[in-house]
Amino acid sequence: MKRFFSTIAIVLMLATTTVSAQKTKPIYLDNNAPIEQRVEDALSRMTLHEKIQVIHAQSKFTSAGVPRLGIRQLNMDDGPHGVREELEWNTWSPAKWTNDSIVAFPSLTCLAATWNRDLAALYGNALSEEFAFRGKDILLGPGVNMARMPLNGRAFEYMGEDPYLAGEMVVPYIKAAQANGVACCIKHFFMNNQEVDRFTANVNASERAINEIYLPAFKKAVEEAHVWCVMGSYNLWQGIHCCHNDSLLNGILKRQWGFDGAVISDWGGTTDTWQAATGGLDIEMGSFTDGKIKESEFTYDDYYMARPMETLIKEGKLDVSYLDDKVRRVLRTMFRTCMNPDKAIGKQCSEDHYEACQAIGEEGITLLRNEKNILPIAPERYKKILVVGENATRSLTQGGGSSELKTLRDISPLEAIKKLYGNKVDYAQGYLSGRALYDQVDEVIPSERVRLREEALRKAKEADLIIYIGGLNKNHKEDCENGDRLGYDLSFEQNELIQGLAKIQKNMIVITFGGNPYAMPWLKNIKGLLHCWYLGSMGGDALAGVLSGKVNPSGKLPVTFAKSLEDYPYYQYGKKAYPGVNKQVYYSEGIYIGYRHFDTRKVEPQFPFGYGLSYTSFKYGKPMLSSPSITNDAPITVSVPVTNTGKVSGKEIVQLYIGDMECSVDRPRKELKNFVKLDLAPGETRMAEFTITLDDLKYYSEAIHDWTVEPGTFRAYLSTNSSDEGCYVEFNY
């Protein structure tokens, strides 16, 4: 009996304790409380050491939580195109999991080539679901650095040469991803536009170029998409590394733009304790590793923002307010992600993810040449089709640095083409790129390349259609992190191979992959040209859809393809402009990158920015303005009817450019200010309509350090690409 009453007493005591605990539940654990209250409550309960622990790495891809308070660690991972293969806790070696194979999505250059904001949202949603399923809280991407020059080994991770296009595409991507409770970490902030000397180069650019070209896409990600994390870049600006640059991170990002999230260093991008503590960095990752080097006796507690920063505070040399601001930002990120009860469970390698991958790839493929309508391929026209080129079979999801992916399944172009045309298809590799990184090329390759070329030329004599599939790949000094391309030509003697094939067979289609433009000395000798960027896991099927005509290509270039390297604006300024002299790089071309240079200075490109063909044709009608003048308070609208005059349905991207006809300062001939993608049935007409505001007319004045506009006449071009100036209307301010 005594034991019975003792048991009752214990039960009552536990019940009372539970009720008491519920009444005093900490605010930071109350999911219904406002995030700012949760942040302040958690901060007030943390010790100095716990605060220090959450602002630096504890493994290759995690930063610590607060176990004593039940606050989880932050799990991060590369990259912008898919979740990276799981690595060991403290090495760069694969963990050899059996359940970390994922969908590789198309490259961000491919996404930009779709000019489709809805597909950007589809991309962000699907990708973040895979991150959530893998238990990741922060997606290290997307990237919006400008394509200043065509040799950048990392350009395939970015969204082209125009800040407006990049900004418009990145906003829906971020919004969709973060709606699933996965933080995007926009990168690399900022002016990380080359891989050569990326850790040590100090970038010098004019105030105007910085504000008109290199900041806008990041600003839009912060102010419109409310991105939760920002990654600093390796390079220096004003002599200070961007990962802890006070003027950049505290001045522009946090004070001017109101960014309330966490700044994360690129791996190995932190170089100084005092600058890191005071310069706006919030989470230090990868110090003394830079993606390659292994720590020896150096530990995570030796990071710049670990024990050294804690010592400065204890000795009274650094005010604790610097630390508290960082911790607030980290906690805010935690409550948005790893401590968010509404974070998506996610899914991995689901059919809808493969469908999204294919849809994005199909709309990103860009048709650049189609003489005598050689495309789409009508199988009855050809008895024997020869596919030539290593990229027909090579996996283009592997390599490239931090964007390398471990996929569950990839569909190669050759596999998909054989599925389409069956026994008509033969294959010859044609060239060999080598699989080794860092120039460790096997000695057998030169002789092997000759053999492969001879085999391709021999087989070409028996074919009545050649489909060449080549371009760039993810090798070092191709499209790959930590190295730039060595030249503007296609590597591995591809130009010679293409020329040789074209001499044998005039019915030839060239299909290229890659994140950068390249020289085309053989262009006039081929009938068809498709540029595919990188298409991801469903690349073969996406390409097959366009080749067969099941899909009408609608991609348009997010970068200008010049005829030669010498035509790019930076080139005329010599080594000071690239790769730099004495670790100083000068952006002497100012605001004139990409089409701004080609259009204004009348340099004829091979293919202009915004260019892309279709299997149908479109006719633009007469443009109309709602008013002949724009005022400070009243925007105007400009519209144009667009008709599909062909026989098949197609999508046309109507691009709005605005030019200032007379100004006291040098301005580009015109600049992209909006675009819309219309889906039109044969014979259908739809109106493309745009609102023009005063902001669309402004330029950045270095005299007043602000945006301004001068009264005068402006011209609105409604164009198919940046070189198309046939459809325009003028208005006044």
Q: Where are the beta strands (DSSP E) in 358-423?
A: 366-370, 385-388
Give the position of tokens 């805010």: 332
d(CA 412, CA 277): 48
Q: Is the peptide bond before 79 cis (omega within 30 degrees of 0)?
A: yes
Contact predicate 86/97, CB 8 Å: yes
The tokens of 160 are what?
């082209």
Q: State how far the alpha carbon of 159 is from the alpha carbons of 79, 118, 141, 214, 654, in Å.
A: 14, 16, 12, 12, 18
Q: Can you tell me whether residue 461 is helix, strand or coil?
A: coil
Contact predicate 69/322, CB 8 Å: no
Among 374, 362, 389, CA closest to 106 = 362
- Out of 78, 100, 137, 266, pick the active-site residue: 266
Which residues pair with residue 509 across a beta bridge? 467, 528
Which residues pair with residue 649 across a beta bridge? none
Phi, psi of 658 (to 5 degrees): -125, 135
In angstroms and rounded to an integer, the radius of gyration of the C-alpha atoms of the chain is: 27
Annotated active-site residue 266? The verdict is yes
Write the DSSP assignment of 423-459 as a string of letters.
Answer: GGEEEE------S-STT---TTHHHHHHHHHHHHHHH
Among 139, 136, 71, CA closest to 105 = 139
Q: Is the peptide bond before 142 cis (omega within 30 degrees of 0)?
A: yes
Cα 508 vs. chain centroid, distance in angstroms?
32
d(CA 524, CA 615): 20
Phi, psi of 170 (to 5 degrees): -80, -30
Q: Is the dihedral of CA 168, 173, 174, 179 positive or negative?
A: positive
Phi, psi of 357 (to 5 degrees): -55, -45
Cα 731 vs. chain centroid, distance in angstroms?
35
Amino acid at 618: F
Contact predicate 198/291, CB 8 Å: no
Residue 681, CA atoms < 13 Å, CB-side half-sphere: 1
Write the DSSP assignment of 146-167 as a string of letters.
Answer: ---STT-TTGGGS--S-HHHHH
- The neighbour count for residue 246, using CB atoms within 10 Å, is 14
Q: Is the dihedral of CA 287, 290, 291, 292 positive or negative?
A: negative
Q: Are strands 229-232 and 236-237 parallel, antiparallel or unpaired?
A: unpaired
Identify the H or E element spanning 187: strand 183-189
Contact predicate 78/286, CB 8 Å: no
Among 621, 627, 609, 640, CA closest to 693 = 627
Would you please indicate which residues are annotated as catalytic (active-site) residues? 266
